[in-house]
Amino acid sequence: MKRNLYFFMTLTIGIFIQIFFNRYLSLFDVGPNVLLMLVVAHGFIRGSLMGETLGFSWGLISDSMGVELFGTQALILTLAGYLAGKFRRRVASERPPAQVMIALFSTILYGLGSVLVRHFFEEGIRRSFLMPMILGMLFNILIVTAVFWVLERWINIWNLETEHV
């Protein structure tokens, strides 16, 4: 019961934080991708099942708000949570330099995956993605350490197990 309540509270709070950041802390319509950072942090701290489940749920919610092609966010965030969970034993994710590299690589993979899915399903899309991806990387690098820190405290409040190797 406690895990389900944790899941739904985290899901709700994460969506509201993402909406707030997109609305008030964006530059040239690009803001930090808090949901991506939360999914990756959950994957590294709680494992791939929690990361991919939250990623899929947040992705469906984002897709239903009409952000991109329907299903793109769900697919990419699910893969991000899964991969983060699989790499958690190989990366010392509790260290800030590792967190910065996690933000950098996850944002690059997110951007490339998004462009690949868009290119596959939508013909004629020629939008520039390099500048928004660079801005997104900078935003994500700025917030990733705070995301990991807050998530650790959030998990401790709920007395849930964490795993760092």
| Total number of residues shown for the chain | 165
Tokens linked to 87: 């790499």
User: Beta-carbon neighbour count of residue 98 at 10 Å?
Assistant: 15
Say if residues 133 and 111 touch (Cβ distance below 8 Å): yes
Percent of the chain exceeding pLDDT 70 equals: 93
Query: What is the 3 state secondary structure string of 15-52?
Result: HHHHHHHHHHCCECCECCCHHHHHHHHHHHHHCHHHHH
Question: Cα separation of 113 and 77, whole Å?
Answer: 10
pLDDT band at 25 (very low <50, low <70, confident <90, very high): confident
Amino acid at 113: G
Buried b (16+ CB within 10 A) or exposed e, 56-95: bbbbbbbbeeeebbeebbbbbbbbbbbbbbebbeebebee
Distance from chain centroid for Cα 119: 22
Question: Does 163 have pLDDT greater than 80?
Answer: no
Give the model confidence (pLDDT) of 7-23 as tens digits: 999 999 999 999 999 88
Average pLDDT value for residue range 141-158: 93
Give the model confidence (pLDDT) of 117-143 as tens digits: 888 887 655 567 788 888 989 999 999
User: Beta-carbon neighbour count of residue 19 at 10 Å?
Assistant: 14
CATH 1.10.1760 fits 2-157, yes or no: yes
pLDDT of residue 125: 57
Average pLDDT, the chain: 88
Give the model confidence (pLDDT) of 74-123 as tens digits: 999 999 999 999 998 888 888 989 999 999 999 999 988 988 888 888 76
